[in-house]
Amino acid sequence: MSEKIVQTAGRDELGKFAPEFAHFNDDVLFGENWNNQDIDLKTRCMITVVALMSSGVTDSSLLYHLQNAKAHGVTRKEIAAVITHVAFYIGWPKGWAVFRMAKDVWTEDTEVEMDSAKSAHAAEMVFPIGEPNDGFAQYFTGQSYLAPISTDQVGVFNVTFEPGCRNNWHIHQADKGGGQILICVAGRGYYQEWGKEAVEMHPGDCINIPAGVKHWHGAAPDSWFSHLAIEVPGENGRNEWMEAVDEEQYGGLK
């Protein structure tokens, strides 16, 4: 015997105005139908969300049923899959409308999942993740982090990319010498030179980037990624930042 559903919204809101409707709502719909055991409660919650979504009902009753679904074990991943699936059949804009509400209901789940994924990634490497890389955010798609490892002699920075995060095409310019060395220290990501295939990077992999070569680096779509970025000494070294990596091209990487 699973949890017994008890509902008082009918009597609370319409008990005086429409006592019969209130009775049907609390005693029959929620009292009998919702307590029917032939479908498990979690499934019933999802079906209800789908029914309201399909009818275009995106008011407080949908919000209630989204919260109810979460309270009965529907995860952020599951509700996202449900809404995406149903949107194909009933119309994309309805998917958008429901996602806007669901985002607020599962809000802290996203943060908790993100935090635990970040901690798991941090535990895989000896270098710190550091702070949000705000100084370079304009040249990145997605969230990255920066931890200075060496700021004397040769600059060495640990750069961490959240899944899907990458930097724009850029060139490390120098009048003499210069360039950059990347050493992957955790996770999985990519390095790509202009006109060449992207190269997958795993912990221990080293990439030597000569000055003047147009390239980008960043995480795989589904993995955290960290690399040490070593500034190769040169004369008048500077970064030239260019366009973002083409969305379709990046999306084709696994």
- Report the residue closest to Mn ion, judged by CB: 180
Listed residue (81, 26, 77) closest to 50, CA to CA:
81
Measured from the CB atom, the residue of 180 and 192 that comes closer to Mn ion is: 180
Measured from the CB atom, the residue of 24 and 139 that comes closer to Mn ion is: 139
Give least dist CB 182 to Mn ion, A: 7
Binding mask 121-150 for Mn ion (x = CB under 5 A): ------------------------------
Please answer whether residues 29 and 45 qualify as being in contact, where contact means their C-beta atoms are separated by less than 8 angstroms. Answer: no
Give least dist CB 204 to Mn ion, A: 19
Q: Residues in contact with Mn ion, total (CB under 5 A)?
A: 1
Give least dist CB 223 to Mn ion, A: 19
Measured from the CB atom, the residue of 10 and 218 that comes closer to Mn ion is: 218
Neighbours of 237 (CB within 10 A): 19
Query: What is the SS3 string spanning 23-76?
Result: HHHHHHHHHHHCCCCCCCHHHHHHHHHHHHHHCCCCCHHHHHHHHHHHHCCCCH
Give least dist CB 174 to Mn ion, A: 13
Q: For residues 152-181, which are near Mn ion according to CB under 5 A?
A: 180
Measured from the CB atom, the residue of 109 and 193 that comes closer to Mn ion is: 193
Measured from the CB atom, the residue of 158 and 180 that comes closer to Mn ion is: 180
Binding mask 178-207 for Mn ion (x = CB under 5 A): --x---------------------------
Please answer whether residues 192 and 215 qualify as being in contact, where contact means their C-beta atoms are separated by less than 8 angstroms. Answer: yes
Q: What is the distance, to the nearest Å, from the Cα of residue 190 to the centroid of all Cα atoms in its chain?
A: 18
User: Inter-axis angle of helices 76-90 and 92-105, to 10 degrees?
Assistant: 160
Give least dist CB 216 to Mn ion, A: 7
The amino acid at residue 102 is A
Give least dist CB 169 to Mn ion, A: 10
Give least dist CB 208 to Mn ion, A: 11
Binding mask 207-226 for Mn ion (x = CB under 5 A): --------------------
Binding mask 48-77 for Mn ion (x = CB under 5 A): ------------------------------
State the residue for tokens 């979460």: 70
Listed residue (172, 253, 242) closest to 207, CA to CA:
172
Neighbours of 63 (CB within 10 A): 15
Structure tokens at 87: 């949107």
- List helix spans (H) across the chain: 9-14, 19-23, 41-54, 60-71, 76-90, 92-105, 107-123, 247-251
Measured from the CB atom, the residue of 106 and 140 that comes closer to Mn ion is: 140
Measured from the CB atom, the residue of 25 and 180 that comes closer to Mn ion is: 180
State the residue for tokens 């040769």: 154
Interface residues with Mn ion (CB under 5 A) are 180
